[in-house]
C-alpha cells in the first residue's frame, strides 16, 4: 500500500461514521426544525472544501498529512464528547459567576438567567421590556458579558480546539515541530465545532418566528457559515502554528486565539445589549448591525495578519535549523 493510500484508508467503523453521520445529523435537525435541516448542508461546506484540499495535498506530499482516520475520529469526538464536556464546563462557570454577581438574591439570579436565555423579546409586555432594558444596561450584565465572552465561551472553547493538537503532539512525539499535522488536527476539531455551532445558530434564528425571521436567518447564514466558520478556522490555524513554536506553554499557544475569540463575542454581546437585550439577540438596528459586522471583519483581518506572521516566523525558524 502506498503512503497516499495508507493515509486515506478508513476502517469499517470510520466508514460507517462517514456515511451515516451527516444523514443522522440532518434527520435529527429535521425533527427539531425542518427549516434548519433545509439549510444545514451549508454548515458542512468548510468541511467539504478542506477535505478536498487535504486529499490533493496527500497525493503530492503524504508525509506532511495526518491520517484521514485519525482526523475523522478527532472530528467526531470534538463534535460530540468534546462539546458535551464544554457545555458542562460552561454551565458550571456560568452558575458560579451568577452566584458572585447576585450573592444575596436567588430570585434576581434566576431572573437574570431567564432573561439571558431568551432568544427573542418580541412577545414581552411594555413593563417586561422596560425591566429587560434596565437589566441590559446594568453593570452586572456588562460584567457577565465580559466573563461570558472571554472565559465561558472563548477560553473553554479554544481549549477544546487545542486538545487535538495535544493528541497530535503525543502521537508524533514530544519533540515534533512540523506544523502540517498540527494544522490537520486543529482544523478537524475546529470544523466539527463549527458545524454544530452553526446548526445551533441556524435553529435559533429559525425559531425566532417573526416577520424579521427571514432577514435574520439570512444574516445568520452570512455570519455563521461565512464569517463564523472563517473565524474558527483562523484561530485554529493560529493555535496550531504557535503550538509548533511553543511546545510546552498552554497559554502562550492559545492566548491570542482566546483574545480574538473573546473580543468577537464581546462585540456581538455589546451590540445586543445596546438594543436593550440581555444575552444574545441579533440586533435589528442598522447602526448596531453595521457596527457589529465591521468589528467582526476587523477581527478577521487581525487574525489573518497574526496567522501570516506566525507562518513566516515558523518558516524562518525551520530554515535556520537546516
Averaged pLDDT for residues 9-18: 92
- pLDDT of 148: 97
- pLDDT of 296: 93
Here the contacts of 300-305 (C-beta below 8 Å, separation 24 or greater) are 300/227, 300/230, 300/231, 300/234, 302/260, 303/231, 303/234, 303/235, 303/238, 303/260, 304/234
Identify whether the C-beta of residue 249 lies closer than 8 Å to the C-beta of residue 242.
no
Cα gap 155→56, rounded to integer Å:
33
- pLDDT of 267: 95
Q: Which cell numbers hold the place of 303?
A: 487574525
pLDDT digits (tens, 9 = 90+) for 40-50: 888 898 999 99
- pLDDT of 74: 95
- pLDDT of 160: 95
Cα gap 206→208, rounded to integer Å:
5
Averaged pLDDT for residues 148-167: 95
- pLDDT of 309: 93
The single residue listed with the C-alpha cell 416577520 is 211
The single residue listed with the C-alpha cell 500500500 is 1
Cα gap 181→194, rounded to integer Å:
20
Q: Which cell numbers hold the place of 148?
A: 461570558
Q: Is the pTM of this model over 0.85?
A: yes
- pLDDT of 171: 76
Task: Look over the chain and give the mean of its residue pLDDT values, rounded to a whole number.
Answer: 88
Cα gap 166→78, rounded to integer Å:
13
Largest CA distance in the chain: 71
Q: Poorest-confidence range of 59-63, 116-120, 269-273?
A: 116-120
pLDDT band at 211 (very low <50, low <70, confident <90, very high): very low
Cα gap 117→57, rounded to integer Å:
44
Averaged pLDDT for residues 120-143: 89
- pLDDT of 175: 46
Amino acid at each position: 500500500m502506498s503512503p497516499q493510500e495508507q493515509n486515506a484508508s478508513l476502517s469499517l467503523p470510520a466508514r460507517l461514521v462517514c456515511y451515516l453521520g451527516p444523514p443522522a445529523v440532518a434527520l435529527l435537525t429535521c425533527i427539531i426544525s425542518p427549516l434548519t435541516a433545509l439549510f444545514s448542508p451549508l454548515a458542512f461546506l468548510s468541511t467539504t472544501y478542506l477535505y478536498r484540499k487535504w486529499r490533493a495535498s496527500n497525493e503530492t506530499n503524504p508525509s506532511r498529512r495526518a491520517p484521514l482516520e485519525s482526523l475523522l475520529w478527532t472530528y467526531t469526538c470534538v463534535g460530540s464528547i468534546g462539546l458535551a464536556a464544554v457545555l458542562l464546563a460552561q454551565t458550571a462557570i456560568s452558575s458560579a459567576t451568577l452566584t458572585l454577581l447576585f450573592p444575596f438574591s436567588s430570585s434576581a439570579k434566576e431572573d437574570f438567567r431567564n432573561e439571558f436565555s431568551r432568544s427573542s423579546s418580541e412577545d414581552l409586555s411594555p413593563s417586561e421590556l422596560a425591566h429587560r432594558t434596565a437589566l441590559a444596561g446594568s453593570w452586572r450584565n456588562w460584567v457577565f458579558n465580559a466573563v461570558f465572552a472571554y472565559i465561558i465561551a472563548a477560553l473553554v472553547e479554544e481549549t477544546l480546539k487545542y486538545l487535538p493538537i495535544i493528541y497530535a503532539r503525543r502521537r508524533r512525539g514530544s519533540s515534533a515541530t512540523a506544523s502540517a499535522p498540527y494544522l490537520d488536527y486543529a482544523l478537524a476539531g475546529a470544523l466539527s465545532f463549527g458545524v454544530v455551532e452553526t446548526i445551533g445558530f441556524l435553529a435559533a434564528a429559525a425559531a425566532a418566528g417573526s416577520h424579521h425571521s427571514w432577514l435574520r436567518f439570512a444574516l445568520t447564514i452570512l455570519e455563521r457559515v461565512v464569517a463564523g466558520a472563517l473565524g474558527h478556522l483562523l484561530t485554529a490555524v493560529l493555535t496550531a502554528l504557535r503550538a509548533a513554536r511553543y511546545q510546552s506553554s498552554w497559554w502562550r499557544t492559545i492566548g491570542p486565539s482566546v483574545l480574538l475569540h473573546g473580543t468577537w463575542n464581546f462585540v456581538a454581546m455589546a451590540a445586543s445589549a445596546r438594543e436593550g437585550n440581555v444575552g444574545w439577540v441579533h440586533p435589528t438596528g442598522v447602526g448596531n448591525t453595521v457596527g457589529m459586522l465591521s468589528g467582526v471583519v476587523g477581527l478577521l483581518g487581525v487574525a489573518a495578519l497574526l496567522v501570516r506572521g506566525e507562518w513566516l516566523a515558523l518558516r524562518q525558524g525551520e530554515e535556520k535549523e537546516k
